[in-house]
Structure 1
Amino acid sequence: MESASTRARAARRRGESGQVTLLILGFTLVAAMLVVGTVAVTSAQLSRVRLLDAADGAALDAADSLDVRAYEQGLDDAVAVSNETVRATAERYLDERPLPVGMAGWAVAPGTGSPDGETAVVRLVGQADLPLVGGVLRGLGTTVTITVESRARSELQ
């Protein structure tokens, strides 16, 4: 014969069945979201670094591009550059390079030029192609846009 305490324990166990499965499913979902988020953020950071690397190269190339006015006015302390020279050199630099992994596109952004006639400022804007969440973002009609800026100056000694 079954005692009352045994029946009460059995009833309690039946009421709790399936609760652990739901808890494990919830924790698994949270862990998967953390992994996906970490992968997306890491990919965005790597895309920013690759875009900054391209901006650095374009700025260095532009800082060495002698502007036509240097032939008319001579040289001072640095290689003379102009807004047009910097922009054209930066665009040519990007056209000659393959698009880095993790980038859906890139372009020279407004603000590219020379504020003082000796410093080349290159601003680039790019769209990051994020793994796992990129398709979802495109489905929502948005992308991750990254803007970077790099400066270079060629000193004459």
Structure 2
Amino acid sequence: MTTHAEAAGVGGHPEQGQISILLLGMMVTALTLILGVVAATSVQLSRIQLLDAADAAALDAADAVAEEGVYGEGLGNGVPLTTDTVMEAAGEHLARRERPSRVTAWTLLPGTGSPDGRTAVVRLQGQASVPVLGQALEAFGGPVTITVESRARSDLE
């Protein structure tokens, strides 16, 4: 007949040390969840900052009067805009504005302009800086790219 100590091997219980593996697995899972939440929150904050910049650029562009429209048609119900005046005003606004710390680069995209001659549309694309996981994300698929669009009108009514 064997004793309990002999069945367990050299002087221990057969399940001794199993809690360490369980704790290690739980810690890895918890750390992964925490890092995922931090990364997702950082990307969301970057999106909000890009949207804020696009809103401000669209508001600035909505006030950029297309001189050929004013002289030809007058003001009418709103400030006449062209795609060129919107692109120019939005570009100048973004050049003057300090880029947010979480955004490593930004650029105006096609689609920025005035589709109806009264609305300023600004499409802005930026690359988000993701803390801790940024280098790993870049190794697997490149930086996190965010695209936002904002519209503004300058009505005179």
After TM superposition, the score normalised by the length of structure 2 is 0.91
Structure 2 counterpart of 1:54: 53
Q: After superposition, where does 1:32-111 map in structure 2 within 5 Å?
A: 32-69=31-68, 70-111=70-111
**Residue in 1 aligned with 2:27?**
28
Identity of aligned residues (%): 49
Residues 45-98 of structure 1: CA deviation (Å, up to 9, x unaligned): 000000000000000000001002212221111100100010111111111011
Mapped partners of 2:49, 2:147: distance in 1: 11
- Structure 1: tracts of 5 or more residues without a match: none
Structure 1 distance, partners of 2:43, 2:96, is 23
Distance (whole Å) between structure 1 residues aligned to residue 124 and residue 115 of structure 2: 16
User: 4+ residue stretches of structure 1 with deviation over 4 A?
Assistant: none
- In the alignment, which residue of structure 2 is the partner of 1:128? 128
Looking at structure 1, the residues matched to 123 and 141 of structure 2 have their Cα atoms a distance apart, in angstroms, of 25
2:111 and 2:6 map into 1 onto residues whose CA distance is 73
Displacement of 1:141 after TM fit? 4.9
**Normalising by the residue count of structure 1, what TM-score does the alignment of the two structures yield?**
0.91
- Indicate the RMSD between aligned Cα atoms, in angstroms: 1.6
Is 1:8 aligned with 2:8? no
Residue type of the alignment partner of 2:25: G
Q: Which amino acid aligns with 2:39?
A: A
Number of equivalenced pairs = 153
Q: Secondary structure at the match of 1:131?
A: coil
